Amino acid sequence: MSSPFKDALSRLVYSTEQGDMRGDDRETERQAAERERLNRLDGIVRIRRETSGRKGKGVTTVSGVPLSDDELAALTARLKKRCGSGGALKEGVIEIQGDHRDTVKRLLEQEGYTVKLAGG
């Protein structure tokens, strides 16, 4: 017969002594997803202007950048600052509010990336 206390310990997710006890599984899942995303890239950074699903507002999207999630976040911050605009990083795609394709292209080419303007 197992005690209810022992069953509770097997499902322990947080302890004041050890903190979050689920962290290892979550971290490896995140690393695996990031590694898979990087493996699918072809080395060309694509920049496009999108309005779909944004109530007609234009957004410059940058995809295919071969960087880790942390490095992508830093690049997003640099692009937003350079364009003087807001933006976000969503699932490996950088979104900059407004049409800033030329500015983004120049900055990425200066950093050594192969850049292609995609779409219309």
Sketch the domain layout of the chain as residue ranges: 43-117
pLDDT at 104: 95
**Tens digit of each residue's pLDDT (9 = 90 or more) over 76-109:** 999 999 999 999 999 889 999 999 999 999 999 9
pLDDT at 73 over 90: yes
Residue 23 contacts residue 14 (beta carbons within 8 Å):
no
pLDDT at 42: 80
pLDDT at 46 over 80: yes
Cβ neighbors of 66 (< 8 A, separation 6 or more) are 38, 41, 43
Q: Per the CATH hierarchy, to which homologous superfamily does domain 43-117 belong?
A: SUI1-like domain (3.30.780.10)
